[in-house]
Amino acid sequence: MVAAPLMPKATAVWLVENTALSFDQVAEFCKLHPLEVKAIADGDAAQGIKGLDPILTGQLSRDEIEKGVADPNYRLKLSAPKVRLPEAKKKKGPRYTPVSRRQDRPNAILWLVRNHPELKDSQIMRLVGTTKSTIQAIRERTHWNASNLQPMDPVTLGLCSQLDLDMEVQRAAKEKPVVTAAPGATLLPASETTVEREPEPEEKKAPEELNVDAVFAKLKQIGGKGE
């Protein structure tokens, strides 16, 4: 984009009145049409506009004007600003919705509320370009046309892009706290339930202590003899 001086018409008025520059040179520097500059010189245009000195404002130097007066084919160059101001960040406002699509916004809001309940009202407002009261009315089924509303994808309706919708859904998922399930009884995996287990060996009974007197008494009975 070609830079133009501040207040180009006021600058053109001053150059016409105070220099011998040609109309083409003034028109080229001020980004105006040569006929408009000629009308300014004839007094038919820019009446009541006070001339602005480009030398005082630092937009043009005297040497540059002298070069232009000496050579009619020379094109004046705008002086570089001594102080560079940072560009103001463009504030992103609410999404503009064409008039032909505004009647579809309630249907899109209903679709978002049903399919993405994690979205906040502010996110729906950014996607569809609606108001918080409208979203609340659709949530509570108090909208004036609630009985005729049908959920419709806002991307299909052209109210937002799929990229914007995905970004808002991901942002809502990150902000949503993770729900941890309460510990409880769970089923064993199939790998454990289908394993054949060997039967546990039976416990061996400890041998009973021998009664020596009883053994000898039995032997005496069998032998029939006493000691």
Structural domain contains residue 194: no
Quick one: 108 and 171 in the same domain? yes
* Residue of higher predicted confidence among 190 and 135: 135
Each residue of 85-120: pLDDT tens digit?
A: 566 666 655 566 666 677 889 999 999 999 999 999
* pTM of the shown model: 0.41
- Average pLDDT rounded to a whole number, residues 30-42: 89
Q: 70, 86, 120: which is the final residue of a domain?
A: 70
Quick one: 171 and 110 in the same domain? yes
Concatenating the DSSP letter of every residue in the chain gives -----SSHHHHHHHHHHH----HHHHHHHHT--HHHHHHHHHTSSSTTPPP--TTTTTS--HHHHHHHHH-TT----PPPPSSPPPPPPPP--PPP--GGGGGGHHHHHHHHHHH-TTS-HHHHHHHH---HHHHHHHHTT-STTGGG-----HHHHTSS-HHHHHHHHHHHHHHSPPPPPPP---PPPHHHHTPPPPPPPPPPPPPPPP-HHHHHHHHHHHH----
Structural domain contains residue 181: no
In the structure, what pLDDT confidence band is assigned to residue 227 with cuts at 50, 70 and 90?
very low
Domain of residue 56 covers 8-70
Quick one: 59 and 118 in the same domain? no
Q: 129, 146, 175: which is the final residue of a domain?
A: 175
Tell me what pLDDT residue 1 has.
46
In the structure, what pLDDT confidence band is assigned to residue 129 with cuts at 50, 70 and 90?
confident
Quick one: 103 and 66 in the same domain? no
Structural domain contains residue 78: no
Structural domain contains residue 225: no
User: For a pLDDT cut of 70, what percent of the chain falls above it?
Assistant: 71
Structural domain contains residue 187: no
Chain-centre distance for alpha carbon 178: 22
Quick one: 124 and 169 in the same domain? yes
Quick one: 104 and 171 in the same domain? yes
Residue 118: CA count within 13 A, CB half-sphere? 14
Structural domain contains residue 192: no
The count of domains in the chain is 2
Tell me what pLDDT residue 85 has.
59
Structural domain contains residue 146: yes
Structural domain contains residue 211: no
As a whole number of angstroms, the distance between CA 167 and CA 105 comes to: 20
Quick one: 63 and 118 in the same domain? no
Quick one: 61 and 104 in the same domain? no
Quick one: 59 and 116 in the same domain? no
* Residue of higher predicted confidence among 176 and 67: 67
Quick one: 121 and 64 in the same domain? no
Each residue of 44-79: pLDDT tens digit?
A: 887 788 888 888 888 888 898 898 889 988 888 888
Q: Is the pLDDT of residue 32 over 60?
A: yes
Quick one: 65 and 117 in the same domain? no
**Encoded tokens for 99:** 């008039």
